[in-house]
Structure 1
């Protein structure tokens, strides 16, 4: 082979190699391009606009999943038989069994009450509501019937003061759905159980409010209330207000979620009864409400762009109860002007997806487990057991707004922290003096 031919062959081989590299590069880049396009398509599909009605369906299905084991078992007289009693590591379940069942019932009732108060309809959601409401009415009768296997303990230990208060709050939130339909014997028995609570005392903190609302409920149903318990709760809780929407839970301030778990929602409901009965000035009720609205602003800002929120303070196992106050303000349609109902819906939906989709918070039979994000029994407080966990239902109060309310019908909207972390304008925040 001549030198010129060898040189040409070498050049052709080099060119072929370069062409192959070029073609391979095109294929590779094309693959990346296709991958990016597909990834974008996937991203778009995953972040496709979800309507408020889809959010509502998610909420109602999740609340049904959470509440139905408690309510349906109570209706069947099998709550004590079937509900597990998980307790903190090292604790003995026997002492918890005296109180955990009323915990589950009272707390669940307070969470589902606004939802069950909606009128019947033929939708899937409407059928779920009717099923739970019908079962709960039967279950309440079972819970105060001394001959029933699920007769609930109102008469020993101090803890029943707390969980009767959540039951009272449920009756006050949905009187036409949960109180008025009860038969006269059951109503009489409920009243007697509430009166029996007067033989016990509790802690010098938010427990004063539990005792107060129990008496306010008795007043609401026409029974003679204890004025001392009412006045003590009314005066002392107000004395513990520290400003800017926060109450101290007792003489010492604790940074936790008890302003939402208990204080704001229960104080507003408590003052509403007293105001309607002319036992306090309307201005007292309005001030309590105004302070809850201020606290709700902080609650909305606690929710990160990803739907997480800080796990600080006592009772983190109460999960979504951390947003009861925000949910109640939304339910009452009293949100501050700059907070759109849809941004609260989207923020709370993000929390629920983050907490209940990505964390396994239920056991194999559908009961809540000790933990915050999944099973984390070591974070449970000494007073916590399975029944305590049903505080989580208190985060679903906006389901009491009908499906055609703007909370559910308005387009999706970013909440404050999502705006802040995506370079959008958001409202400056300042201390308030009331």
Structure 2
């Protein structure tokens, strides 16, 4: 597939995965339709998880200006569905009113929804009516009752406050933002990787949560703080390095290491690489079109397996098809929608080098094909 064909495949896949969620929620029927049998003890959180994680990945595409033709018609339609969905999720009178009050899990997914608001300040945040905005602010603030542990959860609190900030709430808490940022500066382990807390773990949480949220929180608040402005180049350098590590982890056949927890988030493991492409901070030696081809290989391999979606189009746990034993006890059907984070580069116009560049082999494929590739190097 060339870049144009790959973009259509990415868009079709994102809408295949996300369509059932937004269609149901816009009609206020998500609680009625979303399967909750898998780890049903977590079912009260499943609806916010599915919606927020999908929104987090879809937001840059909804924000994109300058599209034409059929894709623009789709974008407008789904932007409308997203606004209806937010109303349904935050309205206490809605049958799909979501669980923000309980301590614990709602903070996580309020943060993913908050990240969507930060990623689409015009198409989502700027289009909310005062009524919906008020409901949303109230809902987000309810998650403050959760005191986050010394882990990636600190960034969930920071991201919720970032959303309150862009929603215009003067009551946003700068301390929750600053504490998260400065703790992660202390938890840096080297070569582009942070600990999830003080300890290092072999997993993808640097990409699922830590670096995407850290990058966007610091970018949002750098005008408010000299400290953040000073930290930003360091944070971006580390994110750039980790994006390259992710690209190098994609094998010639489109597989990748299945390490650590939450691997059933599938290609959501590559959120930071996708964000680096979206925000144009890939290393100079890593062409955007090469990243496109690598990620396409990952997405197409996973989506080719039967059982990834059920008969009604809802995601099922696993990586290649239905593999429920790979899922931890905290994972339900809604959790799986973090896979949508791979689609961030759809927020780039078709003319961007990411989409317009010629097909290129990714690093592992070039090495496996016997090409003379420049060696890797650590971040000093």
TM-score range, shorter chain: over 0.9
| Cα RMSD (Å) | 1.3
Is the CA contact (8 Å cut-off) linking 1:338 and 1:427 kept in structure 2? Answer: no
Match of 2:156 in 1: 210
Match of 1:285 in 2: 232
Pairing 1:393–2:340 present: yes
Match of 1:427 in 2: 374
**Structure 1 residues 300-320: Cα deviation after superposition (integer angstroms, max 9, x where no partner):** 000111111111110010001
Q: 1:307 aligns with which of 250, 254, 257?
A: 254
Q: 1:219 aligns with which of 165, 174, 180?
A: 165
Supply the distance in 1 between the matched residues of 2:66 and 2:99 (Cα, whole angstroms): 32
1:272 deviation in Å? 1.1
Match of 1:46 in 2: none
Match of 2:31 in 1: 80
Match of 1:245 in 2: 192
Match of 1:154 in 2: 100
Match of 2:113 in 1: 167
Supply the distance in 2 between the matched residues of 1:251 and 1:117 (Cα, whole angstroms): 36
Is the CA contact (8 Å cut-off) linking 2:211 and 2:272 kept in structure 1? Answer: yes
Pairing 1:167-206 to 2, within 5 Å after superposition: 167-206=113-152
Pairing 1:60–2:6 present: no
Is the CA contact (8 Å cut-off) linking 1:162 and 1:207 kept in structure 2? Answer: yes
Q: 2:310 aligns with which of 356, 363, 370?
A: 363
Supply the distance in 2 between the matched residues of 1:52 and 1:87 (Cα, whole angstroms): 37
Is the CA contact (8 Å cut-off) linking 2:103 and 2:145 kept in structure 1? Answer: no
* TM-score normalized by the length of structure 2: 0.97
Gapped regions of structure 2 (runs ≥ 5): none
Gapped regions of structure 1 (runs ≥ 5): 1-49
* TM-score normalized by the length of structure 1: 0.85
Supply the distance in 2 between the matched residues of 1:197 and 1:51 (Cα, whole angstroms): 44
1:372 deviation in Å? 1.3
1:76 deviation in Å? 0.4
Q: 1:260 aligns with which of 207, 228, 234?
A: 207
**Structure 1 residues 12-45: Cα deviation after superposition (integer angstroms, max 9, x where no partner):** xxxxxxxxxxxxxxxxxxxxxxxxxxxxxxxxxx
1:245 deviation in Å? 0.4
Larger radius of gyration: 1
Q: Detail structure 1 runs of 4+ shifted over 6 Å in the superposition.
A: none
Aligned residues: 379
Judged with a 3 Å threshold, the aligned counterparts in structure 2 of structure 1 residues 70 and 134 are, in CA distance, closer, same or farther, namely same
Supply the distance in 2 between the matched residues of 1:359 and 1:238 (Cα, whole angstroms): 42
